[in-house]
Amino acid sequence: MPGSLNPTALVRLLGSWSNGALPAYRELADVVRLLVMDGRIPLDVALPSERALAQTLGLSRTTVTAAYANLREQGFLTAGQGSRGRTSIPHRSAPVSVPGLAAPEGLQDLAYASLPAAGEVVHRAFADALTELPALLPGFGYDALGVPALREAIAQKYSAEGVPTTADQILVTSGAQHALNIVLHTLVGKQDRVLVEHPTYPNALDAIRAAGCKVLPVALSPHASSGWEIDAFVSTMNQQHPSMAYVVPDFHNPTGRIMSDLQRRQLARAAASAGTVLVVDETLRGLNLDGVQSAPMSTFSPSVVSIGSLSKSHWAGLRTGWIRAEEAMITRFVATRTTMDLGGPVVEQLAAARLVRSFAEPLDARLQELRHNRESLLALLAEHLPEWEVERPLGGLTAWCRLPTACSTALTVLAPDFGLRLAAGPRFGVGGAFEHYLRVPYTLPPAQLEFAVGALRAAQDKLDASPQLRRTLKAGRPPAVAVA
C-alpha cells in the first residue's frame, strides 16, 4: 500500500538543506531529488501538501509550490491529486545515461574516455576498402575468424613489435569488449575466480560478473611510480589459483600507468605456474604519451591471450578488435564466437586492414593533441581543485584523481546540474571501493576541459557547503551510467 510522508518526517530528512547558493525553491527541490535518488524517500510516496510543508519549514507557500513544480518538470513527482504529488523516477533517465553516437545534449561527457575519429585517415581507408570489395562479393561473406587481409596485418604488427605471430593466431572481433566476452565464455564457468587489477575498466568488470565469475580484486600500488603490487598478484595467484587474470598493463584504465618489463615477466611466470590464463587488454597500448618503452606481454609467455582494438587509436565507431593467442586457443575461441555471431562486416575489416598496416599514421597528431590536453587538465585541476591529488598518467586517456572526502557518487549525482556527466569512482572497483576517486578524461579540447573543471569545482563547492548533501548521497549506489 503506497504511503505518504508527513511534514515533520520530511523536514528531518532534509536536514540543513539550504546554504543560500541558489534560490530556495531550487535548493529544496535538489535535496528532495537527491533523497529520492538515494532511496531515502521511497518511490510512490505522497509528499506533504504545499501548505503543510511551507508551514513546517517556515517558508512561503510560493517557494514550496515552485520546488514541487521543479520536481514535477524533472519527473521526480507525479502530478497527483491536488498538490500531493507522489515520488517517482523520471522515464528519461535510461536514454540520458546511454549517450550513444550523438554527443549528449547539453552535457559534457566525462564518463566516456574516447576520441572522435582520426577522420581523414579513417574516411580514406573506407574509400580504398570499397575498391577492394568487388573481389570478395562472389564469396559467401561469412568468415568467423576475420577477413584474411586483416588477420595478416594484425599478425605483422605483432611480429614487428618483437612477437612473431602468424595470421592463424589472430581472431578478428567487433572490438575489445566482444573479444573479452569470447574469452570469458571459452575459458571460465560460473563461480570460477577471475583476478583483476583494482581499480580496473568497468565494462570488463561487468562482463566478468555477467559470466557468473567471482572477481578477485588486487590493489595497484598506492604509489604511481611502483605501478603494480606484483607480490600481491603473485600470492593471490599462488593461493587462489584463479582460472583467469584480466590485466591492462599498457596505460591502464583508469590510472594511465604502464607496467615495467620486469613486472610483466614476474606476472607471466606466476600465471603460468598457477595455471591461470593471463588475458591482457592492449586497447590503450598505442596511446603512449611519454614514449616509455615496454615489450608486449606475449613476449614473456606464449600462452598469454592478448586483446586489442582500433577504438582508441583510430575510432570506436569502427567496432574492430582482435584476439591474439596460440593457434589451438584461437580454434576454441572461434567455436565460442559462432555461438554469438558469424563474423564481422567485410568492408569494415578491409578498411581496418589498411589502418593496421599504417597504424602509426594518425597517431602522431593524436598523441600531440592528447599531450596538450593532458597538460591543460593537470594545470586546471592543480589551479581549481588543489585539494585533489591527481596521478600523472603516462598514456591512455584518463587521469585518476583522489578526492579529499568520499564523495565521488555524490559528485556524480550532482554533476548534471552543472552540465557534466561523470562516472563515479566505485564503477571502477568492487564492493563500493573508490568513493574517494574520480576518473577524469583528457579527451576534450582545453576550452571544454576548462568548462568541465569549473563545473567540477562548482559541484565540489556545493558538496563542501552542504554536509547533509554529502551524507545523504554518501551511501548511495553510483548511478549506472554507460562508461568507456
Ligand X SMILES: Cc1ncc(COP(=O)(O)O)c(C=O)c1O
Q: Which stretch binds ligand X (CB under 6 A): 16-24, 171-179, 183-191, 215-223?
A: 171-179
Work out how close the CB of 244 gets to ligand X at its nearest, in angstroms, rounded to a whole number.
Answer: 15
Place of cell 611502483: 226
177 binds ligand X (CB under 6 A): yes
Question: What is the rounded CA–CA span in Å between residue 287 and residue 371?
Answer: 10
User: Is there binding between residue 175 and ligand X (CB under 6 A)?
Assistant: yes
Buried b (16+ CB within 10 A) or exposed e, 72-102: beeebbeeeeebbbbbbeeeeeeebeebeee
Minimal CA–CA distance to 38: which of 460, 429, 469, 436? Answer: 469
Task: Provide the minimum distance between the beta carbon of 414 and ligand X in the complex, in angstroms, as a whole number.
Answer: 24
Smallest gap, in angstroms, from Cβ of residue 397 to ligand X?
A: 8
For residue 366, give every residue at least 6 positions away whose Cβ sits within 8 Å of its Cβ, in sequence order, or none. Answer: 115, 118, 287, 313
Which residue's Cβ has the minimum distance to ligand X?
175
Binding mask 113-142 for ligand X (x = CB under 6 A): x-----------------------------
Cell 515520488 sits at which residue? 87
Binding segment toward ligand X, per CB under 6 A, in 158-166, 174-182, 210-218, 293-301 = 174-182
CB of 39 to ligand X, least distance (A): 30
- Using CB under 6 A as the binding rule, whether residue 395 contacts ligand X is answered as no
Q: How many C-beta atoms surround the C-beta of residue 124 within 10 A?
A: 14
d(CA 225, CA 228): 9
Least distance from ligand X to the Cβ atom of residue 76, Å: 32
Shortest gap between Cβ of 316 and ligand X (angstroms)? 5
- For strands 305-309 and 321-324, give the pairing: antiparallel
CB 257, CB 220: distance < 8 Å: yes
Closest CA to 111 of 413, 435, 372: 413
Alpha-carbon distance of 393 to 399, in angstroms, equals 6
Stretch that binds ligand X, among 17-25, 156-164, 175-183, 217-225 (CB under 6 A): 175-183
437 binds ligand X (CB under 6 A): no
Smaller CB distance to ligand X: residue 425 or 476?
Answer: 425
Q: Is 283 in the site for ligand X (CB under 6 A)?
A: yes
Q: Tell me the site size for ligand X, rule CB under 6 A.
A: 15
* Close Cβ partners of 455 (under 8 Å, ≥ 6 residues apart): 108, 415, 418, 419, 420
Residue closest to 306 by CA, chosen among 465, 462, 157: 157
Which range touches ligand X (CB under 6 A), out of 102-110, 169-177, 382-390, 406-414? Answer: 169-177
Q: Which stretch binds ligand X (CB under 6 A): 119-127, 222-230, 277-285, 337-345?
A: 277-285
* 282 contributes a contact to ligand X by CB under 6 A: no
Of the residues 27, 281, 391, 435, which one makes contact with ligand X according to CB under 6 A:
281
Q: Which is nearer to ligand X, 276 or 283 (CB)?
A: 283
Q: What's the CA gap between 170 and 155, in Å, rounded?
A: 7
Residue closer to ligand X (CB basis): 242 or 441:
441
Q: Which stretch binds ligand X (CB under 6 A): 136-144, 211-219, 233-241, 279-287?
A: 279-287
Residue 484 binds ligand X, judged by CB under 6 A = yes
- 239 to 268, contacts with ligand X by CB under 6 A? 248, 253
State which of positions 298-357 bind ligand X (CB under 6 A).
309, 311, 316, 321
Q: For the CA atoms of 203, 209, 215, 217, what is the dihedral angle to 10 degrees?
A: 20
Per CB under 6 A, the list member of 201, 388, 428, 442 interacting with ligand X is 201
Q: Which is nearer to ligand X, 113 or 355 (by Cβ)?
A: 113
When asked if residue 429 is in the footprint of ligand X (CB under 6 A), the reply is no
**Smallest distance, ligand X to C-beta of residue 95, A:** 20
Q: Which is nearer to ligand X, 38 or 197 (CB)?
A: 197
Of residues 265, 261, 315, 266, the one with CA closest to residue 286: 315
Q: How far is the CB of 197 from ligand X (least distance, A)?
A: 10
Span near ligand X by CB under 6 A; candidates 172-180, 265-273, 340-348, 373-381: 172-180
Is 279 one of the binding residues for ligand X (CB under 6 A)? no
> Cβ(31)–Cβ(14) under 8 Å?
yes
172: left (phi over 0), alpha (psi -120 to 50) or beta: beta
d(CA 15, CA 22): 17
Q: Cell for 297?
A: 606481454
> At CB < 8 A and 24+ separation, what contacts does 96-99 make?
96/416, 97/479, 97/480, 97/481, 97/482, 98/482, 99/421, 99/482
Q: Which stretch binds ligand X (CB under 6 A): 13-21, 49-57, 146-154, 278-286?
A: 278-286
Nearer to ligand X, 181 or 276 (CB): 181
Binding site for ligand X (CB under 6 A): 113, 175-177, 201, 248, 253, 281, 283-284, 309, 311, 316, 321, 484
